[in-house]
Structure 1
């Protein structure tokens, strides 16, 4: 379907968030997708001028999103994308931006993050041990994700020079291109050393680059590649669960809090800009304490 209005302005907006705001590739793609969908909706509604968009159009669009059974978080993200676009339009093209300003974000569904229990992590590590190149690499990936709580996108962007074994830290580039240093435990450092000594050189073959983790052909390992590896490790451990990379991030935070870490420290380690993003894990730890009490107290 041909989008009649907003296409040129969208191109300018995408350049703006890429070059001036320095948003990640993934974030830019999400913004572009959200706004294109909205422009397509306007086209279908017969709106031919961005200045013609009113609150009723915004309300109708959000209603359509609910009809499509989208998650509230997805709807909220789309509203934010369109608001940012209209803020840019108002500044650069003097387009009215009031249509979405009075639109409320849907209340976020209170879903507790899924995580692995400590004994499950032990099982995952034990069942995936091996001396072949891929097994050594996979353990290094699992150890680093669990030891640091970093995002998979942060993991795949790590270069050799970003690992400092002497200080036990790794430099990662987080959301909004924010750089932070995260401590790495001895188990993860040992696994990385093993990988660098006995696995990576064999996998690299005739390729040459500085990224830490590589695939079976020696090429830069992608986020999809990491997801595939983790799922294969889960199957190998015969664990009746579904794994997604963020589960290890959730596990990292939950285990720290369960073992006495303070919320501010966990926030800094995760690279969260606000404490509210980290506070979801307090609900997980409270639930953990409740279950422990119910299982342990003789009169519970």
Structure 2
């Protein structure tokens, strides 16, 4: 048996737990597995026999070696999170008695504030698609829905016909970890969806089309990659100079709601954040906006 094989059973047990109990997506699981196998390769190179022999110093040395290779701080933090999760799993499943990662400190992450479009830029973006074509009507409906409800791009592309209720103005969304939430639809989004469903979607339907709401020209669910390309092209048509990515509309949704006086807890629920701390980052964005307004308009700043 190779040295790496001594680590395999616990690794597979941990990955199975992530998949079955936490419902992580396949690409997230692959990321965890890649990081953990990289750590295992380091342990093998250090002649560590098995999980029982792993110490906090091994983890610190590994993170240090990756820092020397100029990994981004965010990548190092992600890798450390994966190992910490595994270390706790080893204890819960009685592979060892202590959490070896407990005293290892991670790299400091600088808080990166999310950007946002201005209301005028959002309006220009939403009006840019060519609504004389089925694809243009679809694109307008997708953009309106994303900005109206703060959806993630994966959630937007996975919306089914059964999940949307235009009469009540509500949408049932399946988010991270297969958690469901209900979000409201604004009037402009409802109207754009009605036009798309009545005029455009029937023209995009093919013999094997399923219940996906938004369809490609081949009658299949529109992919995230296609939506990324679309939103970039639409931003150029709208004359928006800043880089526009799908998540920017989600950030704009949250920022504009907060500026309009919405409750932070309500925004948290609509965004599908498990922790209010994740939503609180938008209060920093709001603070920056207030500071800019103060600098621009306060009479004592005009001298």
TM-score range, shorter chain: over 0.9
Q: Are the structure 2 counterparts of residues 19 and 187 from structure 1 closer, same or farther at C-alpha, using a change threshold of 3 Å? A: same
Q: Deviations over 1:118-138 (max 9, x none)?
A: 111112122224220111111
Which residue matches 2:292? 291
- Structure 1 position 185 matched with structure 2 position 172: no
How many residues matched? 299
Structure 2 CA distance, aligned partners of 1:81 and 1:222? 28
1:3 is displaced (CA, Å) by 4.7
Within 5 Å, which residues of 2 pair with 1:249-264? 249-264=250-265
Structure 2 CA distance, aligned partners of 1:133 and 1:3? 54
Which residue matches 2:195? 194
Bigger Cα displacement from structure 2, 26-35 vs 155-164: 26-35
Q: TM-score, normalised by structure 1?
A: 0.92
Q: Deviations over 1:17-69 (max 9, x none)?
A: 21233223333222222212212222333333222211111001111232233
Which residue matches 1:218? 219
Structure 2 CA distance, aligned partners of 1:299 and 1:231? 41
Q: Is the 8 A contact 2:173 2:183 kept in 1?
A: yes
Which residue matches 1:28? 29
Within 5 Å, which residues of 2 pair with 1:229-248? 229-248=230-249
Within 5 Å, which residues of 2 pair with 1:76-225? 76-92=77-93, 94-95=95-96, 97-225=98-226
Structure 2 CA distance, aligned partners of 1:132 and 1:3? 56
1:199 is displaced (CA, Å) by 1.6
Q: TM-score, normalised by structure 2?
A: 0.91
Q: Is the 8 A contact 2:163 2:173 kept in 1?
A: yes
1:248 is displaced (CA, Å) by 1.2
Please list every run of 5 or more consecutive structure 1 residues that lacks an aligned counterpart in the other structure: none
Please list every run of 5 or more consecutive structure 2 residues that lacks an aligned counterpart in the other structure: none
Which residue matches 2:20? 19
Q: Is the 8 A contact 2:51 2:95 kept in 1?
A: no
Bigger Cα displacement from structure 2, 89-98 vs 35-44: 89-98
Q: Are the structure 2 counterparts of residues 215 and 43 from structure 1 closer, same or farther at C-alpha, using a change threshold of 3 Å? A: farther
Structure 2 CA distance, aligned partners of 1:195 and 1:82? 46
Q: Is the 8 A contact 1:4 1:43 kept in 2?
A: no
Q: Deviations over 1:72-120 (max 9, x none)?
A: 3332222121121222233335235532111123333121111111111
Name the SS for the 2:300 alignment partner. coil
Q: Are the structure 2 counterparts of residues 235 and 96 from structure 1 closer, same or farther at C-alpha, using a change threshold of 3 Å? A: farther
Name the SS for the 2:126 alignment partner. helix
Name the SS for the 2:181 alignment partner. strand
Report the aligned-residue RMSD. 2.0
Q: Are the structure 2 counterparts of residues 138 and 84 from structure 1 closer, same or farther at C-alpha, using a change threshold of 3 Å? A: same
1:178 is displaced (CA, Å) by 1.6
Q: Is the 8 A contact 2:257 2:267 kept in 1?
A: yes
Structure 2 CA distance, aligned partners of 1:52 and 1:142? 53
Which residue matches 2:7? 6
